[in-house]
Amino acid sequence: MADHRVSYTLDSTLETVDSAETTATRIAVEAGFGEDEVMQISMAVREAAVNAVLHGNAYDPGKKVKLEFETTGGDLVITIRDQGKGLDPDKIPDPLAPENLMKTSGRGIFLIRSFMDEVQIHPSQTGTEIKLVKHVPGPSGGAKEASQ
């Protein structure tokens, strides 16, 4: 897979969430992922975009979501940045805890972590950056794993 990077600057709208998901699906297919992994990647990106639009930027039309896809060294790396107040990952409740199981929200980050190989959350006063990594299957991904 050739190294490649593409980025988008998007409004804080529900359309952005759908657009991010659609783009992630297309890029994951092009990167050679199988059907299940494509679904996982697209859902992880969708959930990250939901967080950025709703919880980060709070639908503020003056704030943007930056979405970046990079294929490099056998990895698909996806970065989503918002311009919100910053998400503290340590304060996210465990949705599998008995007291949270029947809550109607709070599963987004959990799903992202379930579906991606690596997840890094970098909050700051100017917004949150979430970096998602999925190892690409095939010769390049396999060679990387074998060398670790």
Partner 1 sequence: MSMKTSIRQVDGVTIVDCSGRITLGEGSVILRDAVRDLLAKNQKKILLNLGEVTYIDSSGIGELVSAFTTVRNQSGDLKLLNLTKKVHDLLQITKLYTVFDVKDDEAVAIKAFK
Binding site for partner 1 (CB under 8 A): 14, 17, 39, 43, 46-47, 50, 54, 95-96, 101-105, 107-108, 110-111, 114
Residue placing its CB nearer to partner 1 in the complex, 48 or 70: 48
Residue placing its CB nearer to partner 1 in the complex, 13 or 140: 13
Closest approach of Cβ 42 to partner 1, in Å? 9
* Residue pair 147/80 in contact by the 8 Å Cβ criterion: no
Closest approach of Cβ 3 to partner 1, in Å? 30
Kindly give, in sequence order, each residue whose CB lies less than 8 Å from that of residue 102, ignoring residues fewer than 6 positions away: none
Closest approach of Cβ 19 to partner 1, in Å? 13
The burial of 97, by beta-carbon neighbours within 10 Å (0-12 exposed, 13-18 middle, 19 or more buried), is given as exposed
Residue placing its CB nearer to partner 1 in the complex, 21 or 70: 21
Closest approach of Cβ 101 to partner 1, in Å? 6
Residue placing its CB nearer to partner 1 in the complex, 1 or 119: 119
Distances (CA, A) of 145 to 31, 74, 84, 139: 17, 9, 36, 10
Distances (CA, A) of 99 to 36, 52, 95, 114, 143: 30, 26, 8, 20, 43
